[in-house]
Structure 1
Amino acid sequence: MSVHEQTAPNGWHVFHATGRPPAAPPPLPAPPPWRRFRGTPAQPPPPDDPEAALRRLGPGEAAQQLGADEIDVINAALVLRRPLLITGPPGVGKSTLAYLIARELGLGRVLEWNIVSRTALRDGLYVHDAMGRAQAIAAWQAGVRHTAAPGQGDGAAAPEPAEAGSGGSAVNTATSPSTRQLPPVLGEFITLGPLGTALLPYDRPRVLLVDELDKSDIDLPNDLLHVLENGSYDVPELVRDAADEAYVHTSDPGGRALVRGGRVECAEFPVVVITSNGEREFPAAFRRRCLPLEMRTPSRDQLLAMVERHLGTRSPEAEDMVDLFVQRVQAGGTHSLDQLLNAVRMTTAGGFQADGDGRKLVEMLLRDLAKGR
């Protein structure tokens, strides 16, 4: 960062809420000393998912929904390598912010961790398919018996599989070289979850969306504290394995990652976007580790720009729907932005009459979500 950029107003900003894909990924500020991590081995750059960003953000530059204060908080989270805790009414665009950051900073595919009441920390870190591994070992042993040398026969005991990870070299020495089979390796049955994948040692941070954390079990926010503070975790099954390293699956489609010693530690702390609808309070220790950001319903002009970006229209019918939507929000109802987009899409469809027989359908599309029906 140049001296001019440092002294210019907002010169420390790297995120400007435009949602415009960069020609080249912009450099990020160096983390503070207490948020530096040394995870290895370095992972290849993550895949991109432009279609997901297009569905969330629409084509072109994003409509400005964030004010100067909100943009300051987001940039502070990027500088300090701290999670963002975003609160606001349902459907206001909280989760969309993760896609806005990822596209503007060129950080690749967003990793989504959708929280429900049964979600536990391990669900976000990794899954071990123990049953699948047991079945694979049984199939391997059956194959060994089938291809055993004539002197061993079907009644001979099959050799035990070596407790080796991806690097394991144990083979069935009783078979000929042409029929030799390797035992199933442990790494093939471990898949890193969204949180676990985000903490892999990438050169640039991944974007992790933890959606609706307030719906979780009461213990999950506290369980997250250690991981968010240390940027690392262990996979006990791999720690106990005889092999020093293993290739495991990740949350990216077709993704694989090398894990050494059963421990995963990031090289760059991920951009963590945690959303909450405000259904309950979080522990003080958890809130201390996050930067709070409250999102409000966009203004009329912002809503019109959003409709135009997604649907390519700013017709009188679209303006009427925006005005109706704003009236209902101001009256104290609970409404989401996708309700507005659905209503505008219907009213601008050829032949649809919002003031005639279609009025009942418009009422259904813009119903108050707080009423439960």
Structure 2
Amino acid sequence: MTAQEEQASASQEEQASAVGWRIFHATGHASSSPPRLPAPPPWRRFRGGPLQPPPSDDPEAALRRLGPGEVTAQLGAEEIDTVNAALLLRRPLLITGPPGIGKSTLAYVIARELGLGRVLEWNIVSRTTLRDGLYVHDAMGRAQAIAAWQAGLRDAAASAPQDPAPEREPGGASRDRQLPPCLGDFITLGPLGTALLPYDRPRVLLVDELDKSDIDLPNDLLHVLENGSYDVPELVRDGADTAHVHTSDPGVRAEVRQGRVECREFPVVVITSNGEREFPAAFRRRCLPLELRTPTREQLLAMVKRHLGERPQGTEDLVDLYLRRVQAGGTHSLDQLLNAVQITTTGGFQADGNGRKLVEMLLRDLAKGR
């Protein structure tokens, strides 16, 4: 980062800190003492329990998304205000913009700056349903486990001595009797379901490319986004007071009571869209819109330096070529620029002749289908 960029960043932070209601300043700097969110509005307060332990970080995922260097400020004052409004009002952010412009990266910037731990990713495809995001029930695995348990009981009964009575627990149950498989062992909460668990501080949920979903999914999300809760019907029917289920965090389980999950702090929901279709008005009413535009030349140069650790010779020319292509129309991604810089700075690469054709291919218009 140049002295001018550092001065601009420092000035932006000073201006942001002067506005007391802002807790997010788009610096991407991890703080030793993460800020706490102010109390939510009365209509966005939830009382889920029991509290889950704080989530761990995922530094490798953050490194892939943000790069090893300082995060380049890509948001202006108005965009930062929108993010802060979503945080304070406990409402989802609906981020639109061209593909590859860094929409999903914002979720990682928020998580790092506010110290909210590992980002939960829900990648949407045309077949995605609401239940996919909430939980998965391995019914086949449970049926197989029950069959194996019943077979084990029969084998134990056939091989047990007939004369001596089995030793019993105070409640009357046989001490050596095998317990049936627990239903919770076969339920795994999805990214959305995990984000709605009761945490002391909100989780960050990235709902990536919602516009690729089936037409019904945005409407199906309305109830969950409004109420911050959902039921797991299999656990409700089971009748047990508590169940310990798997979550989307590797190796972490959660306690669910009476089959119902309700958040304590509404998660920071970042929903991205490439603008391929419009969403229903009822869905948009529950979200705060944020449109990201193509970064400036200075921001692109800083982005390259952040990801590659330096600004290789010829980067300026590639950035200018990339911007000319963006301004000419079509669809382009920031990944294309990084790929072009990476390959043209490889030792022995010749930028003329076939090398020039390769650069043209890397920076091609993605809207043309080739």
Fold-level similarity (TM above 0.5): yes
- CA distance, structure 2, for counterparts of residue 250 and residue 359 of structure 1: 48
Residue of 205, 229, 232 corresponding to 2:229: 232
Taking a change above 3 Å as real, the CA distance of residues 8 and 15 of structure 1, as seen in their structure-2 partners, is closer
- Report the alpha carbon displacement of residue 225 of structure 1 after superposing the two structures with TM: 0.4
Q: Quick one: which amino acid aligns to residue 89 of structure 1?
A: P
Residue of 76, 85, 88 corresponding to 2:94: 85
* Secondary structure of 2:354 counterpart: coil
Superposition RMSD in Å: 1.9
1:141-160 residue pairs with structure 2 within 5 A?
A: 141-148=150-157, 150=159
TM-score with structure 2 length normalisation? 0.91
Taking a change above 3 Å as real, the CA distance of residues 257 and 350 of structure 1, as seen in their structure-2 partners, is same
- CA distance, structure 2, for counterparts of residue 255 and residue 101 of structure 1: 23
- CA distance, structure 2, for counterparts of residue 186 and residue 152 of structure 1: 32
- Unpaired segments of 5 or more residues in structure 1? 154-169
- 1:172–1:182 contact (8 Å) kept in structure 2: no
1:134 aligns with 2:143: yes
Taking a change above 3 Å as real, the CA distance of residues 360 and 184 of structure 1, as seen in their structure-2 partners, is same
- Report the alpha carbon displacement of residue 29 of structure 1 after superposing the two structures with TM: 1.6
- Report the alpha carbon displacement of residue 310 of structure 1 after superposing the two structures with TM: 0.5
- 1:171–1:183 contact (8 Å) kept in structure 2: no
- CA distance, structure 2, for counterparts of residue 119 and residue 31 of structure 1: 31
- 1:171–1:181 contact (8 Å) kept in structure 2: no
1:119 aligns with 2:134: no
Q: How many residues align structurally? A: 349
Match of 2:365 in 1: 368
Deviation string for 1:132-177 (max 9, x for gaps)? Answer: 0000000111111111154799xxxxxxxxxxxxxxxx9983xxx4
Residue of 203, 206, 228 corresponding to 2:203: 206
Tell me which protein shows more helix as a share of its residues: 2
Identity %: 82
- 1:171–1:182 contact (8 Å) kept in structure 2: no
- Report the alpha carbon displacement of residue 282 of structure 1 after superposing the two structures with TM: 0.5
- Report the alpha carbon displacement of residue 364 of structure 1 after superposing the two structures with TM: 1.4
- 1:37–1:266 contact (8 Å) kept in structure 2: yes
- Report the alpha carbon displacement of residue 356 of structure 1 after superposing the two structures with TM: 3.6
- 2:68–2:309 contact (8 Å) kept in structure 1: no
1:314 aligns with 2:323: no
TM-score with structure 1 length normalisation? 0.90
- CA distance, structure 2, for counterparts of residue 328 and residue 151 of structure 1: 79
- 1:43–1:202 contact (8 Å) kept in structure 2: yes
- Report the alpha carbon displacement of residue 273 of structure 1 after superposing the two structures with TM: 0.2
- 2:73–2:299 contact (8 Å) kept in structure 1: yes
Q: Quick one: which amino acid aligns to residue 305 of structure 1?
A: A
Match of 1:41 in 2: 50
Taking a change above 3 Å as real, the CA distance of residues 54 and 349 of structure 1, as seen in their structure-2 partners, is same
- CA distance, structure 2, for counterparts of residue 281 and residue 48 of structure 1: 34
Deviation string for 1:33-84 (max 9, x for gaps)? Answer: 1111000000000111011111101123211111111000000000100000
Deviation string for 1:89-128 (max 9, x for gaps)? Answer: 1110001100010011100000000111111100000010
- 1:84–1:274 contact (8 Å) kept in structure 2: yes
- Unpaired segments of 5 or more residues in structure 2? 1-13, 163-170
- Report the alpha carbon displacement of residue 228 of structure 1 after superposing the two structures with TM: 0.3
- 1:171–1:180 contact (8 Å) kept in structure 2: no
- 2:35–2:114 contact (8 Å) kept in structure 1: yes
- CA distance, structure 1, for counterparts of residue 79 and residue 17 of structure 2: 19
- 1:35–1:80 contact (8 Å) kept in structure 2: yes
Residue of 253, 265, 269 corresponding to 2:266: 269
Misfit runs of 4+, over 3 Å: 149-153, 170-173
- 1:172–1:181 contact (8 Å) kept in structure 2: no
Q: Quick one: which amino acid aligns to residue 67 of structure 1?
A: G
Deviation string for 1:185-226 (max 9, x for gaps)? Answer: 100000000000000000000000000101111111011000
